[in-house]
Amino acid sequence: MKIVALAGGVGGAKLAHGLAQILPPQDLTIIVNTGDDFEHYGLYICPDLDTVCYTLAGLANPETGWGRVDESWNVIENAKRLGGPGWFNLGDRDLGTHIERTRRLKEGQCLSEITRNFCKVWGIEHTVLPMTDQYVHTIVETDEGDLEFQEYFVHRRCEPHVKGFRFDGIEKAEPAPGAREAIAEADAVVICPSNPWVSIDPILRVFSPLLSGEGPGVRVFAVSPIIGGETVKGPAAKMYRELGIEPSALAVANHYGGLLAGFVLDQIDSELSKALEVKTLVTDTLMKSTEDRKRLAQEVLNWIGDL
Ligand code: FO1
């Protein structure tokens, strides 16, 4: 079965990793959000892309989910001592990725090509694509004004009250080379348990109308990032609340609306499945261990295969 997975950072990377443990490389393409990308210390940082790649390569920091395992912080500590900003933690190993990516971008290589090269070096055989090669910047509109995503997420610890989101540059963003074809050939698209507002919506916008629920379309399935009204990691539940929507798996399913052929929700939320018109899979969606990732991915694939 050929699958295209749509993923943001840590939660999305976990299910993508589960899928990669089961599907052969030619059957899985992972399309990753780049709206969180930003420049810091003159370097171009792609947090979600790196989180997905490090996770697939077994290089991710198991405690944070982002950044590298066995990391040290000498460079950023020194930069901080000299007066540089210290709110975004760039580890020594991780910095090498940003330095080389920035050098290549300045040379004129595009992000998808750089990602392909990096994946080869990291031993990642499945296809990982940024959603686009153009620059898209997620702006969080808050009661304290517009904030760049990382400014809101890391620097301000998601404290400002959210009023809306904007994806600057999205109108000019074309799907990365190979992404359209991967979707056209796929048996299903799986939306990983990432933040619907800031991780998945930018991808859906880039791939609209291909993934709009109106086209001839591939079947789209989503796994809820909200379990028992809360997010495992990140601000999705807080965002729903501040936008006047009760955070729940149901709210996530409604968010994707007519796009979905099926929805996966946690057993804690089994009651909510009755309110859904799409097909549902109710299971243990919490991925605490590497085995959990594979188990959930296998259950989702079996379910899609049986539908
Ligand atoms: N998240 C944090 O909460 N604090 C950090 O200092 C931080 C640094 C960081 C460095 C590289 C990287 O690839 C990711 C990093 N993240 C950090 C995670 C990132 O901000 C978010 O996980 C995503 O943008 C949301 O999906």
251 in any annotated domain: yes
Strand-pair partners of 139:
148, 166
User: Does residue 296 lie in a domain region?
Assistant: yes
pLDDT tens digits along 215-239: 557 999 999 999 999 998 899 999 9
Residue nearest atom 12 of ligand 1, based on CA coordinates: 47
Looking from the CA of residue 91, the nearest atom of ligand 1 is 10
Query: Whose CA is closest to 151, among 51, 45, 56?
Result: 45
C-alpha 152/C-alpha 165 separation (Å) is: 11
**Angle (nearest 5°) at CA 199 between 75 and 99:** 25
Give me the pLDDT at residue 173, please. Answer: 98
Q: Are 50 and 65 in contact (CB under 8 A)?
A: no
**CA-to-CA distance for 289 and 248, rounded, in angstroms?**
24
Q: For residue 208, what pLDDT is reported?
A: 87
> Which atom in ligand 1 lies closest to the alpha carbon of residue 87?
6
- Angle between helix 47-57 and helix 10-22 axes, rounded to 10 deg: 40
What's the mean pLDDT in 168-185? 96
Query: Rounded to whole angstroms, how far apart are CA atoms 159 and 154?
Result: 10
Counting atoms of ligand 1 from 1, which one is nearest the CA of 199?
A: 26
Q: Answer yes or no: is 225 within a domain.
A: yes
Give residue-wise pLDDT tens across range 97-133.
999 999 999 999 999 999 999 999 999 999 999 999 9
Would you give the DSSP letter of residue 161? Answer: P
The CATH number of the domain where 21 resides is what?
Answer: 3.40.50.10680
pLDDT above 70: residue 303: yes
Answer yes or no: is 87 within a domain: no
> For the chain, what is the domain count?
1
Q: Residues lining ligand 1, CB < 6 A?
A: 8-10, 36, 47-48, 50-51, 66-67, 88-90, 94, 150, 153-154, 199
What ligand 1 atom has the least distance to the C-alpha of 54? 13
Hey, what amino acid is at 1? Answer: M
Within a domain: residue 201? yes
State the average pLDDT for the chain: 96
190 domain-assigned: yes
Does residue 80 sit within a domain?
no
Show the DSSP H helices in 145-220 as ranges.
Answer: 149-150, 179-185, 201-206
Cα–Cα distance for residue pair 27/4, rounded to 1 Å = 8
- Does the residue 300 lie in any domain? yes
H/E stretch holding 241 reads helix 236-242
Pick from 255, 244, 248: nearest CA to 271? 248
Integer Rg of the chain from CA:
18
213 — pLDDT class (breaks 50, 70, 90): low
Decide: pTM greater than 0.85: yes
Return the structure tokens found at 79. 């930069």
Single-letter amino acid code for the residue at 188? A
pLDDT of 211 above 90: no
For residue 21, what are the domain limits?
Answer: 3-36+125-138+170-306
294: pLDDT strictly greater than 70: yes
For residue 152, report the distance from its CA to the centre of ligand 1, in Å: 11
Cis peptide before 160 (omega within 30 of 0): no
CA–CA distance, 283 with 244 (Å, rounded to integer)? 28
